[in-house]
Amino acid sequence: MMKPTYNRHEPGNVWNGDVKGLERRLQKAIRGEVRFDNGSRALYATDSSNYRQIPIGLVVPRSIADIVETVAACREFGAPVLSRGGGTSLAGQTCNVAVVMDMSKYLNKILELNPGGKFARVEPGTVLDDLRAAAEIHHLTFAPDPSTHNHCTLGGMIGNNSCGVHSVMGGKTVDNIEEMEVLTYDGLRMRVGKTSDEDLAAIIKEGGRRGEIYKKLSELRDKYASLIRSRYPKIPRRVSGYNLDQLLPEAGFDVARALVGTEGTCVTVLEAKTRLIYSPPSRVIVALGYPSIYEAGDHTMEVLAHKPVGLEGIDDVIAKNMKLLHAHPEELSLMPEGKSWLIAEFGGETRQEANAKARAMVEDLKKRPGIMGIKLYDDPREEKLIWEVREAGLGVTARVPEQPVTWEGWEDSAVPPAKIGGYLRDLRNLLQEFGYTCSLYGHFGDGCIHTRIEFGLTTKEGIEKYRKFVASAAELVTNYGGSISGEHGDGQSKADLLPIMFGEELVQAFREFKAIWDPANKMNPGKVVNAFHNNENLRLGVDYNPWQPKTNFYYGEDQGGFSESALRCVGVGACRRGDTGTMCPSYMVTREEKHSTRGRAHLLFEMLQGEIIRDGWRSEEVKEGLDLCLACKGCKHDCPLHVDMATYKSEFLSHYYEGRLRPRHAYAMGLIHRWARVASLMPGVVNFFGKAPVLGNIVRWLGGISQKRAMPQFAPKTFRAWWDERKPVNEGCPPAMLWVDTFNNHFHPQVLQAAVEVIEATGFKVVLPKANLCCGRPLYDFGMLAQARKLLEEILVHTRDAVRADVPVVALEPSCLAVFRDELKRLFPHDEDANRLERLSMTLSDFLVKRASFQFPRLSRKAIIHGHCHQHALLKMKTESQLYKLLGLEFQILDTGCCGMAGSFGFEADHYEVSVKCAERALLPAVHHAGENVLVIADGFSCHEQILQLSGRSALHTAEVAAMALREGNHTNPLGKENTPQHTVPEMQEQSALKARKKAEVME
């Protein structure tokens, strides 16, 4: 087998100290986790930037004492250290050849929340949204809220001086830090904050290391005060450089705020006291359309005059890219007329107050020229959709079909808000001069502009061109009185440009400031000052030449190549959230980087480089990282870049096990379609063996199934056996093919029977594939792709006539439908019958809402709905909602994420605990809370089993609920019209059949 090779050795990428000795020292000294293995180092080799440096090792501290001991051990061995939060930095500041301390897993507690004093004390790994959620109870918030708010940490925000949409309301992170406890590399631990002249004199007089630091800071301030006052731009978003302005007398000699934004290059933050500000509980949004983004910039100050709590700008390129990607069509349709937009948010104590502020602005701006359209959104659902348009910026600018991949490098420049229009015009001219195209959007209320540009970072010419461009852009933004970084810091990406913005004297002041705190230059060295050049340590670079392995799947969205797919992740870390969505269920439980989609993508990237992970498809590090991937496909939808880890896992395992035996459970559950057919010959006997106390334990052990799991019970009669005994119905009516999946056929035939009843009630003739087929869904989870391909070939043969006749194929098991929508196209990308099957396959709700012409009786019941992961990821559950409304249900679609069973995953002995924790996060509490009369609906077989086994509730399939409506409904018109004629189900069925036949005749 060909293995990848990697030969890059750049300056700063090697530490020649005693790695083994340091590792042993750390293992003895701390209670936390010490990981110097290649897999862990690969996980932390890059962030969300263009840069890559392999760390010495990883420490996951459990306590502040662990941090102190880690720094002490590194000091003893002369090793650099790097503090890391969410790892989403865009300038390369969270990757380094250092001992990386990941604070996010354990050090994430809110130590104190004081509503009266309007402050909180937090540990460095505290997730921003956790603080915001706790504060919002008291109508308070931490003002800065970057787009990563549901997974970024306060320590990382302090390091980067983060901002966000609502910093227009309360400033940057630096404006919201009152005090910090910090640790220096040489072991000094102290609290810092504002310092009066008296306190400053006392500290200096006290002497010692603390006195020395304050004395030198005082001297630094006096030496550079006039230059700081004259050269620092007076704008809302000056994030570049060190905050030396906070040492000025007018700032109160605030040492804590001077250390904000130092990106871990000076101290390690142990604790922070944060300011909390009033958060208006009611919000209203207004969108304003303009002919171009330049006019939108010109009108920024007019909007700001009305004091919005947030003001964002997006351009026409984002809208065009959304259309190319078929992303957010509903959201785009809500926007007012225009080619670029400003989105203003207003807040108030009540909705009426917020509305009044918004309407006052609307009335004012209507009188002014230049606006193409204005729309006020008074519906919380619509407001959420509008924000999704803005938050889609990264996802719809990083990777667009048939367009170059874009990168950071000039991602977050900032100017005075009054100068946005002119700056954008000149920036566009500069981009055109260099032959670059890109989108321009951002936090217009603060003058911060976001963009990703198609820098050619794999060729010498492309890299030189990139360096020339960013230097020219730095000159441009400086001439506008702006900042080269308005949100994401300097790190390595912007460090070369600091002399352009500040001049050499102030850059020297930055060096002196760092030396005061870190004279040994061991705190995140090579970033901000004395930094690597922006063309060093590139993740790609001129020698980027990844292994191009042969694959089973076709990766058409990435030019067909697996190496391009491994580059898809840009490190934004949306998979590290722990509150909402489907992605990433294992991370939500373990809080481990290697169990996030990003972590797994980075492992695959490193596998293809071959420097640190050298075994290619045989890599144990990659296998371990993929082990807890539930193949939920949540990342395919939730990830802004649609990283498809379920497919990558299947691909990897297919090669990893090539010529090897798989674990027992792979054969027991991967080949369930075979065992189920055998079991159907004697279901009673099989059920007995599965339930018997001793024999059942043996059966579970043989199958690699957890002893804590109950074996699903085979039905006494399969659906196909029931079907074969049945008389034909609706002869001469249009056909609808019902997909007979293995699970419902053998375990829950009543679900398929209910679907037959419902489909026939709409006037269609139900037909089945003539052969006993299976899509092989479990096979993909074990990488058994050769077997899966054979099953799909059989399906294409036996459904060929139906799909060529445009017959709808209704699948009740979401994971089977996912195969037809996803894996089928990847294994048969150029097969037209595969394309037809993909197009014609649908859920029952798709069929009833889009294909059938039928008025269902009302079923006045309450219900909670847990959607299968594949429904969320690929099918979006839109027609399910429509159908439930037509049925008259009072329902709630739960944001429960993955149930944790995920096919065979939750049955496997090694995965049982994680599976249960996934369910306990949101699903089980919702089911337990539901009253006995509330229907629990879950279409997935695995979801049904998880709910049944862990709660005792038996969930219903949508088909069963629709059939229930036919049997029990009150027969009123689902559209709400009164005096609907009362008919029996057979009469309604006959009427629908007649309509369907007439429709078919017209089509013919």
Nearest to 731 by CA among 766, 759, 762, 757: 766
CA 987 vs. chain centroid, Å, equals 49
How many CB atoms within 10 Å of residue 349?
A: 12
What's the average model confidence in pLDDT over 113-141?
A: 97
Amino acid code (one letter) for 148? T
Nearest to 625 by CA among 32, 37, 88: 37
Say what the pLDDT of residue 687 is. 80
pLDDT band at 969 (very low <50, low <70, confident <90, very high): low
Q: Given a cut of 70, is residue 466 above it in pLDDT?
A: yes
- Residue 466 contacts residue 191 (beta carbons within 8 Å): no
Distances (CA, A) of 957 to 127, 163, 715: 37, 45, 16
How far apart (Å, rounded) are the C-alpha atoms in residues 836 and 511?
Answer: 64
Packed helices 693-702 and 683-691: angle between N→C axes, nearest 10 degrees: 100
pLDDT 10s digits, 269-305:
999 999 999 999 999 999 999 999 999 999 999 999 9
How far apart (Å, rounded) are the C-alpha atoms in residues 665 and 669?
Answer: 6
First to last CA, the chain: 56
pLDDT 10s digits, 795-807:
999 999 999 999 9
What's the average model confidence in pLDDT over 43-55?
A: 96
**If DSSP states are collapsed to H, E and C, what string results for 409-450?**
CCCEEECCHHHHHHHHHHHHHHHHHHCCCCCCEEEHHHCEEE
Strands (E), 763-879: 765-767, 809-811, 841-842, 862-865
pLDDT 10s digits, 874-916:
877 889 999 999 999 999 999 999 999 999 999 999 999 999 9
Say what the pLDDT of residue 986 is. 46
DSSP 616: G
What's the average model confidence in pLDDT over 402-415?
A: 93
What's the average model confidence in pLDDT over 494-503?
A: 98
Q: Given a cut of 50, is residue 977 above it in pLDDT?
A: no
Say what the pLDDT of residue 559 is. 80
Write out the two tokens for 26.
């750390």
Write out the two tokens for 28.
């003895």
Residue corresponding to tokens 């078919």: 1000
pLDDT band at 691 (very low <50, low <70, confident <90, very high): confident
Q: Which residues contact 319 (CB under 8 A, 6 or more apart)?
A: 332, 335, 339
Strands (E), 309-354: 310-314, 340-348
What's the average model confidence in pLDDT over 919-926?
A: 96
| Torsions phi, psi for 550 (to 5 deg) | -75, 140
How many CB atoms within 10 Å of residue 711?
A: 16
DSSP 711: P
What's the average model confidence in pLDDT over 648-669?
A: 95
Write out the two tokens for 417.
């808000």
How far apart (Å, rounded) are the C-alpha atoms in residues 818 and 829?
Answer: 15
The sign of the dihedral angle between the CA atoms of 876, 878, 883, 889 is: positive
How far apart (Å, rounded) are the C-alpha atoms in residues 528 and 531?
Answer: 6
- Residue 142 contacts residue 110 (beta carbons within 8 Å): no
Q: Given a cut of 60, is residue 10 above it in pLDDT?
A: no
How far apart (Å, rounded) are the C-alpha atoms in residues 785 and 853?
Answer: 39
Q: Given a cut of 70, is residue 266 above it in pLDDT?
A: yes
Say what the pLDDT of residue 978 is. 29
Q: What's the farthest any 2 CA atoms get from each other in the chain?
A: 100
Write out the two tokens for 385.
């959709």
Q: Given a cut of 90, is residue 941 above it in pLDDT?
A: yes
Going across the sheet that includes 448-450, the strands are 373-377, 282-290, 340-348, 310-314, 441-443, 448-450, 412-414
Summary mean pLDDT of the chain = 92
Distances (CA, A) of 829 to 465, 550, 612, 820: 38, 16, 34, 12
Distances (CA, A) of 690 to 679, 704, 713, 909: 11, 13, 8, 16
What's the average model confidence in pLDDT over 647-669?
A: 95
Say what the pLDDT of residue 989 is. 47
What's the average model confidence in pLDDT over 374-398?
A: 84
- Residue 630 contacts residue 898 (beta carbons within 8 Å): yes
pLDDT band at 12 (very low <50, low <70, confident <90, very high): low
Say what the pLDDT of residue 985 is. 44
pLDDT band at 979 (very low <50, low <70, confident <90, very high): very low
- Residue 257 contacts residue 239 (beta carbons within 8 Å): no
How far apart (Å, rounded) are the C-alpha atoms in residues 773 and 796?
Answer: 10
Q: Given a cut of 70, is residue 426 above it in pLDDT?
A: yes
CA-only gyration radius of the chain, Å: 30
Q: Which residues contact 970 (CB under 8 A, 6 or more apart)?
A: 857, 858, 860
Write out the two tokens for 845.
């709700």
Say what the pLDDT of residue 993 is. 47
pLDDT band at 381 (very low <50, low <70, confident <90, very high): confident
- Residue 270 contacts residue 187 (beta carbons within 8 Å): no
Q: Given a cut of 60, is residue 492 above it in pLDDT?
A: yes
Going across the sheet that includes 735-739, the strands are 765-767, 735-739, 809-811, 841-842
- Residue 110 contacts residue 89 (beta carbons within 8 Å): no
Q: Given a cut of 80, is residue 309 above it in pLDDT?
A: yes
What's the average model confidence in pLDDT over 34-52?
A: 97
How far apart (Å, rounded) are the C-alpha atoms in residues 803 and 839?
Answer: 9
Angle made by CA atoms 283, 287, 288, in degrees to the nearest 5: 140
Percent of the chain with pLDDT over 90: 84
Distances (CA, A) of 979 to 496, 975, 982, 983: 76, 12, 9, 12
Higher pLDDT, 990 or 790: 790
Percent of the chain with pLDDT over 70: 95
Query: To the nearest 10°, the Cα dihedral for 249, 253, 257, 263?
Result: 110
Say what the pLDDT of residue 513 is. 98
- Residue 280 contacts residue 349 (beta carbons within 8 Å): yes
What's the average model confidence in pLDDT over 44-66?
A: 97
What's the average model confidence in pLDDT over 135-139?
A: 97
Q: In 841-971, which residue ranges form alpha helices assigned H by DSSP?
A: 844-846, 869-870, 878-886, 912-921, 923-929, 941-951, 958-968
Say what the pLDDT of residue 260 is. 98
How far apart (Å, rounded) are the C-alpha atoms in residues 190 and 565?
Answer: 46
Q: Given a cut of 70, is residue 980 above it in pLDDT?
A: no
How far apart (Å, rounded) are the C-alpha atoms in residues 908 and 701?
Answer: 10
pLDDT 10s digits, 469-486:
999 999 999 999 999 999
Q: Exposure string (b/e) for 662-676, b if CB count within 10 Å is 16 or more?
A: eeebbbbbbbbbebb
- Residue 774 contacts residue 1002 (beta carbons within 8 Å): no
pLDDT band at 702 (very low <50, low <70, confident <90, very high): confident
pLDDT 10s digits, 339-352:
999 999 999 999 99
How far apart (Å, rounded) are the C-alpha atoms in residues 994 and 1002?
Answer: 12
Q: Given a cut of 90, is residue 865 above it in pLDDT?
A: yes
**If DSSP states are collapsed to H, E and C, what string results for 722-740?**
HHHCCCCCCCCCCEEEEEC
Q: Which residues contact 708 (CB under 8 A, 6 or more apart)?
A: 912
- Provide the whole-model pTM: 0.93
pLDDT 10s digits, 190-205:
999 999 999 999 999 9
Distances (CA, A) of 730 to 481, 801, 1001: 76, 20, 15
Angle made by CA atoms 78, 81, 84, in degrees to the nearest 5: 170
Say what the pLDDT of residue 988 is. 45
The sign of the dihedral angle between the CA atoms of 953, 959, 964, 970 is: positive
3-class DSSP assignment, residue 620? helix
Residue 584: asked if its preceding bond is cis (omega within 30°), the reply is: yes
pLDDT 10s digits, 434-446:
999 999 999 999 9
3-class DSSP assignment, residue 182? strand
